[in-house]
Structure 1
């Protein structure tokens, strides 16, 4: 079974004729069933609207960048400490201590 999509109908009326919740911004409208045909994905995380890629990036604030850097730094330092303790223990074992 090969369903056919009426692309002209989907493009002409992508939104449903319903009331939106009061907490939604006034420019946001729910999708119609035909309008959902305009939404697509590429299988590797890309989201598309009517063939145009949607911007889906996340930008970290300066505080989040600093926190992430500190976490990475201290994680690296903990790994260095673990390796140095392991080397010390191996050397002690090899020296008979």
Structure 2
């Protein structure tokens, strides 16, 4: 039986958590935009802003930890560009709902 590589396992767990974060943040952005354009309930805007800011901070921390592995493969590029896209979308949404 081969030995378990803990660094490799931790990397894959972090990547899985990152893509879960990506899906949750995308859903939250969608909910905020639907609230902005469809229902127009302005009472929810501070809650959406706080949740988006918290998700952006958590995603930034997760991205920074993943970057510590110095992965130069296609997966590293996918993570980098998807984070830049999601961070930009998140900031734009927060500015729109304010």
Q: TM-score range by the shorter chain?
A: 0.3 to 0.5
Larger Rg: 1
Length-normalised TM-score, structure 2: 0.35
Structure holding more helix per residue:
2
Length-normalised TM-score, structure 1: 0.35
Structure holding more strand per residue:
1
